[in-house]
Amino acid sequence: MDFSITAEQAALRRSVIRFARTELNDAAAESDRLARLDRESWKKCAGLGITGWPVPTAYGGSGFDPVTIAVGLEALGYGCRDNGLVFALNNHLWACAVYLVEHGTEDQKQRFLPGLADGSLIGAHALTEPGSGSDVLGMRTAAVREGDEYVLHGTKTFISNAPVADVFLTFARTGGPDAPAAAALTAFVVSRDLPGVSVSRSWDKAGLRSTEMGQVEFEGCRVPASCLLGAEGNGFNLFTSSIDWERSLLFASQIGVMDRVLDDCVAHARDRVQFGRPIGVNQAVRHRIADMKVRLELARLALYKAAWRKREGQLAPLDSAIAKLAISESHLSSMLDAVQLHGARGYLAEFGVERELRDALGGTIYGGTSEIQRDIVASLLGVPS
């Protein structure tokens, strides 16, 4: 059992941290305040190749394996203080691009992957609806076949990247009312410029504010049958086979955030003096920091186990659910500790610690809530439902 990373992965980690610290942090507070994606920072990330890390080199990407990508994303989270930008990149990669990598036809790959890889196209995942979030099979958006097209009607809501996206990985019902739910869903690759596609509103959020979120309307949108992803009626199977990526690697950057904030807390415990001595000599402070380190290391192990399984070509529903649950809840707990350790500075917007907490809040919700992950783990262990 080897826990080391390769020389190439170590070099990637150093270069990404150096890039992020130098290029991505100046606009972080302003992007959060304005709730706006920093498009210049997006272009810089694309220039480094981040937007195409999992895309094969034949389509303009880097072709990195999942463990290498986990190393890179952890480094990005460590170096970049604009967590919303990092989250937008992750949505682009794991909720759109990787679906095309794994399930797209050659024509679809040639058409969409080069633009997604070089960042000139931004991807989004149009799944959630006003009446269905965790209940994926309860969605109402419908797609009716008419000749060589499918006509889409429906509303998708709380869609990350929607206001800026060029490509929507969209799920809709194609089966009739009597079709089994699991066989009624179909996936489509929908271009934003198709008639009948509109982003009807933008949502204001507590955290990850520089990832813009919107509501997408499909009103008689005619999608060419050539944009069907996989087979008709196989959307649910496609979703369950690809969600491993989102539930594991999307959270790799949070490991980097936890590591960075831990370093900040150690420095604060050493430098902040009260009653004539550093606050780090107090057991209450020391133990919080120790707990932050324990959470970090255990969450990191869960991440890399899931990434290793994906590198080996295995399905990883249990490991990805465990990783998602462990990382998101550890991240939130550690950001709460960071605010407490920094006192008033932790609570004030000027110092940036409270932004880390706000950004951590959503992690236990998006990608499947903590409650859903616990249900998945219990079911996979054979616990009756």
**Average pLDDT score over the chain:** 95
Using alpha carbons, list the distances in angstroms from residue 245 to 41, 96, 367.
24, 11, 10
Is residue 177 predicted with pLDDT exceeding 70?
A: no
Q: Kindly indicate the confidence band of residue 105, based on its pLDDT and cuts at 50, 70 and 90.
A: very high
Residue 39 has pLDDT above 90, yes or no: yes
DSSP letters of 291-333? HHHHHHHHHHHHHHHHHHHHHTT---HHHHHHHHHHHHHHHHH
User: Distance from CA of residue 293 to its chain's centroid?
Assistant: 23
Percent of the chain with pLDDT over 70: 99
SS3 for 185-248 is EEEEEEECCCCCEEEEEEECCCCCCCCCEEEEEEEEEEEEHHHEECCCCCHHHHHHHHHHHHHH
pLDDT for residue 283 is more than 70: yes
pLDDT band of residue 151 (cuts 50, 70, 90) is: very high
C-alpha torsion sign, points 29, 32, 38, 42: positive
Instruction: Say if residues 248 and 98 touch (Cβ distance below 8 Å).
Output: no
pLDDT tier at 248, thresholds 50, 70, 90: confident
The enclosing H or E element of 170 equals strand 167-173
Contact 41, 109 (CB under 8 A): no
Domains 124-233 and 239-380 share a fold: no
Please state, in angstroms and rounded to a whole number, the distance separating the CA atoms of residues 279 and 275. 9
* Segment 264-274, tens digit of pLDDT: 999 999 999 99
Residue 189 phi/psi, 5-degree rounding, is: -100, 110
pLDDT tens sequence across 187-201: 999 999 999 999 988
**Superfamily for 239-380?**
Butyryl-CoA Dehydrogenase, subunit A, domain 3 (1.20.140.10)
Q: Has residue 95 got a pLDDT over 90?
A: yes
Query: 199: Cβ–Cβ under 8 A, 6 or more apart, which residues?
Result: 162, 163, 214, 215, 216, 217
Question: What pLDDT digit, counting tens, does each position of 57-94 carry?
Answer: 999 999 999 999 999 999 999 999 999 999 999 999 99
Domain 124-233 has CATH 3.40.190.10: no
**Tokens of residue 84, six digits:** 């919303």
Cβ atoms within 10 Å of 19's Cβ, excluding its own = 19
Q: Which residues contact 346 (CB under 8 A, 6 or more apart)?
A: 338, 339, 340, 353, 354
* Domain range summary for the chain, segments of one domain joined by +: 7-121, 124-233, 239-380
Whether the per-residue pLDDT at 179 is higher than 80: the answer is: no
Question: In 3D, which of 171, 333, 169, 330 has the Cα closest to residue 251?
Answer: 330
Q: Reply yes or no on whether 74 is catalytic.
A: no
User: Given this model, what pLDDT does residue 1 score?
Assistant: 80
Biggest alpha carbon–alpha carbon distance for the chain:
79
pLDDT at 135 (0 to 100): 84
Q: Does domain 7-121 have CATH number 1.10.540.10?
A: yes
Find the mean pLDDT for residues 331-342: 98
The answer, yes or no, to whether residue 282 has pLDDT greater than 90, is yes
**What pLDDT sits at residue 304?**
96
Tell me: pLDDT of 240 over 90. Answer: no
* Cβ–Cβ < 8 Å for 299, 363: no
- Which of 74, 217, 246, 356 is catalytic? The answer is 246
d(CA 132, CA 328): 22
Residue 224 has pLDDT above 90, yes or no: yes
